Amino acid sequence: FMYKKNGRFDRVCMKTPIYLDSTSELSLQAQIRQKVIDAIADGVFPVGSRIPSSRRLSDDLGIARNTVVLAYEQLLAEGYLVSRQRSGIYVSEDLSRVHVGKQAVKSAPKGPSIWSQRIARRVHHTRSFAAPAQWQAFPYPFIEGQFDDTLYPIKEWREASKAALSVGQINEWAGESGVADDPLLIEQIRTKVLPKRGIRADADEILITLGTMHALNIVSELLVQPGTRVAVEEPGLPQVRDLVANRGGALWHQPIDNDGVIVDERLDRSEIIFVTPSHQTPSGVTLINERREQLVQKANELDQIIVEDDFEFEANYLNRPQPALKSIDTQGRVIYISCLSKVLSPGLRIGFMVGDAELIAQARKVLQLQVRHSPYNNQRTAALFIQMGHYDTFTLSLHRTFEQRWIALRRAVNYFLLPYVEVSRAQGGSSLWLRIADDIDPGYLVTEAAKQGVLVEPMHDYFATSGVEGNYIRLGVTSIEEHEIKQGVERLRDVIHSLSSGAVETLDQYDGDLLEGHQIESAITNKQMVCPIAYDDLCSINIISGGKLDGRAGAAGDDADQGQWWIEGDYWCRQWSRWAWGEVGRYRVVTTQDGTVIKLFDEKGRLIDQGLLRAISEGDAELSHDQTQISRNWTQVSQPTGTTEQTD
Amino acid sequence: FMYKKNGRFDRVCMKTPIYLDSTSELSLQAQIRQKVIDAIADGVFPVGSRIPSSRRLSDDLGIARNTVVLAYEQLLAEGYLVSRQRSGIYVSEDLSRVHVGKQAVKSAPKGPSIWSQRIARRVHHTRSFAAPAQWQAFPYPFIEGQFDDTLYPIKEWREASKAALSVGQINEWAGESGVADDPLLIEQIRTKVLPKRGIRADADEILITLGTMHALNIVSELLVQPGTRVAVEEPGLPQVRDLVANRGGALWHQPIDNDGVIVDERLDRSEIIFVTPSHQTPSGVTLINERREQLVQKANELDQIIVEDDFEFEANYLNRPQPALKSIDTQGRVIYISCLSKVLSPGLRIGFMVGDAELIAQARKVLQLQVRHSPYNNQRTAALFIQMGHYDTFTLSLHRTFEQRWIALRRAVNYFLLPYVEVSRAQGGSSLWLRIADDIDPGYLVTEAAKQGVLVEPMHDYFATSGVEGNYIRLGVTSIEEHEIKQGVERLRDVIHSLSSGAVETLDQYDGDLLEGHQIESAITNKQMVCPIAYDDLCSINIISGGKLDGRAGAAGDDADQGQWWIEGDYWCRQWSRWAWGEVGRYRVVTTQDGTVIKLFDEKGRLIDQGLLRAISEGDAELSHDQTQISRNWTQVSQPTGTTEQTD
């Protein structure tokens, strides 16, 4: 008798509830043992009943009798079964001493719920966007904070995990009495992790938490009471607002701009300030040095507390990372919160909090009343992981991977999305934050994109105040492999394009003159085309007679490339050596009547690129790419992302 | 050059900061890799600097050059090091991009603390007794809830852990988006764990927590607000009182007796009742069936909520376990809380909560704002541990081990401590709760016992009200192996004896007549000696002429033993076949003048045993052991342990 399970045929025992699963990784013997235990638990083999003989079971299943005998022997040794001479093998009566019998199992109560009116306090809990549980099934998941499975240091974590489960180690962590964290993890964080952020702390200034959210929760429990004035970033993490609101705190939403949170007199009334200096959540911008110093100085003068959430410090690709605020705090006013989750997978929940010893002692009491302590096995595994050097290795490798992905993302956004979005001036981080057209509903876009296999996140949950200008989505690179990024962004462009009817120029509806082949040649030869690019820098392309292209990008023109151009019919064709993935691009060309603005449309009529045109001297060997001068004309391309209206 | 470290001589490299640790479990290659990483992190090998050649390092350390070469190759591949042709090996410049340099490290702030006046809310946190961190170093640790290292299912947990870290599994749990618990663990608890407690629940009625304390915390967060009337058991878990007090709830302390918490009209005003029916914390008594039904019925009538903390359900040795209160709840009023920690080690922090789906949904929001979710790696490992059958196996084996230990403890307490303590009528559980003399300070006793290597716990932290009668200590068996129990209790007796001067009779100070050898013989021959024993049952010993002993114990006389007796000088000697470990006991005998009470003192003059004497018919073949009749005379031996005064 065969029946199909998960698309495979498995051997089934007709006379007993035992079947073998051919897809299982367990040995036959282990499977039999487990199935017998299941059958006992389910009451199929009641306590005290006789079970099939090994001969019969092996015949039924068509396997070697010895396999069954060995499984039964193990179950006998474990006390599940007892053997009675000349009678057979029985389910042990002892089992009834630890199990309440099946007859006691009641159905779930069916009466009306008594809870609707009851729950004392409806918890503030902003419904925020959550990635679908099956996000890994999507081909293009741009979900910030989720890690794709190529990233886990599985081998290294296994090694640390195995070491933590060695007899010597297990006796150390399992016997901890719950009053302290694992001293080995504290030591590793103190000596290997914090110095990278410029922070020096003693062991009693560190508390292990279950991630950064947990640390934020504990800080709120300790410091926020009804009426406490708390400043948060706008936009910012909705959960931080929830935590403060749940404790009755009075929120102030401080706007951000391209240099991070704005430090001005609007912060003066606040007693506590929550900030994300390394990479502002959710915009990704980095707080500049000048403001860091202002912030700490202001806190010293006004007796304020700063809570520094530094969850993404590893991820600054473009600049040397800034030291933490905590490192310039001389009065113990900064509570520093970070985690190992970015490195060790968020599922593990390992975070920490650094602050004044007195504060940490109180925080530990709150934590003990919540969860007693963070699981010791994970603490010890993380400690060994760091001690073995894997943390450093993996941080470095993650940094490189995310850098490559982020650059790929920026390039793809630049190529495909430029006419449709504005990009915030993020310096690294693992995401880009895009402003889409005002008439596109971000929630609808997210849903439509998901239908095409592209997962992006809407940003409106991050805004607390109503006067948000613009609609934003975020594309993260922690969850998508580099080689999928280009196509993912291209598909996203298609979705946005289909929702943008009329808002963005197309070949059906354009402003200017559509050029024919010979017109193109004379319009562009020996001209410099200056284009905004997605990330706030400019790009200049010298279009030289004879079909040569010379391009510079970046503030210092430090990204350069060469290429070729030619005319095919009414199309301007170009191909870079590296830019645009070295692929041939074919464009229809539109210019304004004065010939100073040029627009390129692809073969489907979609706007791909636009720029200024200006003449350059023919035959000039050193063709000028004067970025500074050009920049002045384009400063309005990327808008500040903050808002100013408050709903305090 | 050799220097001594941890009592061993290790090879040290003089010219580099690399030394090899001969005690390390790591391979030489792995050690070199790690030491180089440490040296980079410590700034000993600065970023960009040249490191010693493999030849030099291998020479310095006196090891094969190839070992160093392989370690360097790994570091090169990992990006720590870069090789420059004909120049050497250098620390990668890339490292500065992810690490803030050493120069940024600041000293800890030295100013006065700003925190003393600041922390908004001093947390209610009863200082409760905590086992010393080094409890495993004590020879006789009777610490309830700590597990000695023979108990961990290390092999099985490792197997489940390894399976959870397989590529397929890791991708499942690591990619969870944090909005739900591990469905596999929910399913295992639903189908394998809850049915043993008579509970049937759907998946949306279960929440995974970090242990029972966490579940209690979440329930308090949800249901207790200022003024909410909450009943707790007295004595009871201090942390539950703290949780309620921190939320501003009004506490009522309901007394317990030998049948568990008293169910009467004093509970009527309460809106929420926290109970520990399986084994009352800390007394260990089990709530009888009648009261269980009363409690649930009362809750239905008065619209009350019951929080059932069932953390020790596996541990009832004497009776078949009672189904949970939750199993007789038809209106969804019982919130059931339990954990897998007793089985999987408390260090792992895996608990769960079962309740109405609406309540669980709200509870999940609270949990998400605290810790997002319980660590998924532990959830999945626990799920696989249960699925593989290890949970059942281990529960059973733990049950047997604790049963044996607990019986050994009871026997030793009976033999050594009977004159000094009263024992609560615990039915199983993994501890005994002892009342010591009123004039012995339990804290002092605990300290003095610890000096003798015996760890016991004082119980006063469990009492909230001031009118506690008596001083209590607890002896648990989860942390001490069976063969250590007898000697541990004997040592404890010595400590108690030394603190009990005058309170307990000794041969220096006794009441009655001290008998000489020939007087003993006539006083006891053909008599029945009826003794209380430590755990509420009685024991009767028939002392038969010709030197035979016939003993019965237990309510139904179901524990019987035979032995011999004889006189040596002025000592009555006796030896049982099993009782008193089959050892010879030598006692001086004191009787009252009417000959009805007998007291036995050991060779050091300490009171060992006392009982009633009555005549039996010489030569009676079936010597009577009429327990029922005797019991009436001894009902006062074990006092109810509850108190009635309230400090609400």
> Which of A25, A147, A197 shows the shortest C-beta gap to B100?
A197
Q: Would you tell me which residues 23-52 of chain A have a C-beta closer than 8 angstroms to some C-beta of chain B?
A: 25-26, 30, 33-34, 37-38, 40-42
Q: Given its phi and psi angles, is residue A43 left (phi above 0), alpha (psi -120 to 50 degrees) or beta?
A: left
Work out the average pLDDT over A373-388. Answer: 92
Tokens of A634: 């384009």
In this predicted structure, what is the pLDDT of residue B555?
A: 65
Name the least confident of A35-39, A411-415, B209-213, B326-330: A35-39
Residue A189 falls in which region: left (phi positive, over 0), alpha (psi -120 to 50) or beta:
alpha
Lowest mean pLDDT among A37-46, A547-556, B8-17, B212-221: B8-17
> A221 to chain B, minimum CA–CA distance in Å?
8
Which residue bears the tokens 């610890």?
B450
Residue of A nearest to B76 (CA): A393
CB B550 within 8 A of CB B562: yes
* B-interface mutation test, from A125, A392, A401, A455, most B Cβ less than 10 A away: A392
Q: Could you give the CA distance from residue B428 to residue B400 in angstroms, rounded to a whole number?
A: 11
- pLDDT mean values, one per 10 residues, chain B (648 residues): 35 54 75 82 77 85 87 84 84 68 46 66 63 80 82 85 82 68 92 88 94 94 92 92 91 91 96 92 86 96 94 61 87 93 74 93 90 91 92 84 89 89 74 86 90 90 77 89 95 91 80 91 91 75 92 77 94 92 93 90 88 76 49 34 37
Residue in chain B lying closest to A30 (CA) = B388
From the candidates A26, A29, A118, which should be mutated to test the interface with B, based on the most B CB atoms within 10 A?
A118
Restricting to B residues 103-142, those with a Cβ less than 8 Å away from any Cβ of A are: 104-109, 111, 113-116, 118-123, 125, 130-133, 135-136
What does pLDDT average to over chain A? Answer: 82
Residue type, A615: A
Residue A319 has a pLDDT of: 59
Element (H, E) at B77: helix B65-78
pLDDT-derived band at A534 (thresholds 50, 70, 90) equals: low
Predicted local distance difference test score (pLDDT) of residue B624: 60
Q: Is the dihedral of CA B511, B516, B517, B518 positive or negative?
A: negative
pLDDT (0 to 100) of residue A487: 96
Amino acid at the residue B102: K
Q: Give the Cα-Cα-Cα angle A108, B429, B144 (nearest 5 degrees).
A: 115
Any A CB within 8 A of B399 CB: yes
Chain B interface includes A228 (CB < 8 A) = yes
Any B CB within 8 A of A229 CB = no
Place of tokens 């006794």: B510
Q: What is the pLDDT of residue B472?
A: 87
The three-state (H, E, C) secondary structure of B103-153, written as one string: HHCCCCCCCCCCCCCCCCCCCCCCCCCCCCCCHHHCCEECCCCCCCCCCCC
Between the two ends of chain B, the Cα-to-Cα distance in Å is 70
Q: Is A5 left (phi over 0), alpha (psi -120 to 50) or beta?
A: beta
> How would you classify the pairing of strands B272-275 and B260-261?
unpaired
Chain A residues with CB under 8 Å of B123 CB are 221-222, 362, 365-366, 369
Interface test mutation site (partner B, options A123, A146, A292, max chain B beta carbons within 10 A) = A123
Q: Report which of B384, B373, B312, B328 is spatially closest to residue B153, judged by C-alpha positions.
A: B384
Q: Which of A37, A98, A388 to mutate to test the interface with B (most CBs of B within 10 A)?
A: A98
Q: Do A327 and B105 touch (CB under 8 A)?
A: yes
Closest-approach residue (CA) in chain A for B174: A347
Contacts of A335 in chain B (CB under 8 A): none
Interface with B, mutate which of A74, A97, A385, A455 (most B CBs under 10 A): A97
- The interface residues of chain A toward chain B in range 332-351, judged by CB-CB distance below 8 A, are 332-333, 345-349
| Closest-CA distance of chain A to residue B85, Å | 23
Antiparallel, parallel or unpaired: β B2-5 and B8-11? antiparallel
Residues 451-510 of B with CB under 8 A from A: none
The reported pLDDT for the residue numbered A63 is 86
Amino acid A562: pLDDT: 94
Which tops the pLDDT comparison, A116 or A189? A189
**Residue bearing the bigger pLDDT, A200 or A105:** A200
Residues of chain A with Cβ-Cβ distance to B155 below 8 Å are none
Q: Is B281 exposed, middle or buried (0-12, 13-18, 19+ CB in 10 A)?
A: buried
Alpha carbon of A246: minimum distance to chain B alpha carbons (Å): 10
Q: Is A450 on the interface with B (CB under 8 A)?
A: no
Interaxial angle between packed helices B212-223 and B238-246, expressed in degrees from 0 to 180 and rounded to the nearest 10: 30
So what's the pLDDT on residue B187? 93
Nearest one of A322, A334, A329, A249 to A279, comparing CA atoms? A322
CB contact under 8 A, A214 and B358: no
Question: Which range has the worst mean pLDDT, A50-54, A114-118, A592-596, A602-606?
Answer: A114-118
pLDDT at residue number A624: 61
Interchain CB contact of B404 with A (< 8 Å): no
- Residue of chain B whose alpha carbon sits nearest to that of A166: B154
- Determine which of A547-551, A601-605, B175-179, B598-602 has the lowest per-residue pLDDT on average: B175-179
pLDDT at B106: 47
What is the ipTM metric for this complex? 0.74
pLDDT at A210: 94
| Biggest alpha carbon–alpha carbon distance for chain A | 107
Q: DSSP string of A560-604?
A: EEEEEEEEETTEEEEEESSGGGG-EEEEEEEE-TTS-EEEEE-TT
Q: Report yes or no: B146 at the A interface, CB cutoff 8 Å.
A: yes
Q: What is the pLDDT of residue B580?
A: 87
The enclosing H or E element of A392 equals helix A390-412
SS3 A204: helix
pTM equals 0.76
pLDDT score at A52: 85
Nearest to B176 among A198, A347, A357 (CB): A347
CB contact under 8 A, A347 and B375: yes
Q: Which of A43-57, A71-85, A186-200, B128-142 has maximum average pLDDT?
A: A186-200
Tokens of A260: 């991070």
Measured between CB atoms, which of B30, B377, B399 is closest to A348?
A: B377
Size of interface A-B (CB pairs under 8 A): 398
Q: Give the gap in angstroms from C-alpha A186 to the nearest C-alpha of chain B.
A: 16
Question: Cα separation of A380 and A373, whole Å?
Answer: 13
Q: Look at B116 and A358 and tell me if their CB atoms are within 8 Å.
A: yes
Q: What is the mean pLDDT of residues A47-58?
A: 85
Nearest to B485 by CA among B84, B139, B129: B139
Which pLDDT score, from 0 to 100, does residue A609 have? 86
Q: Return the pLDDT at B285.
A: 83
User: What is the pLDDT at residue B44?
Assistant: 73
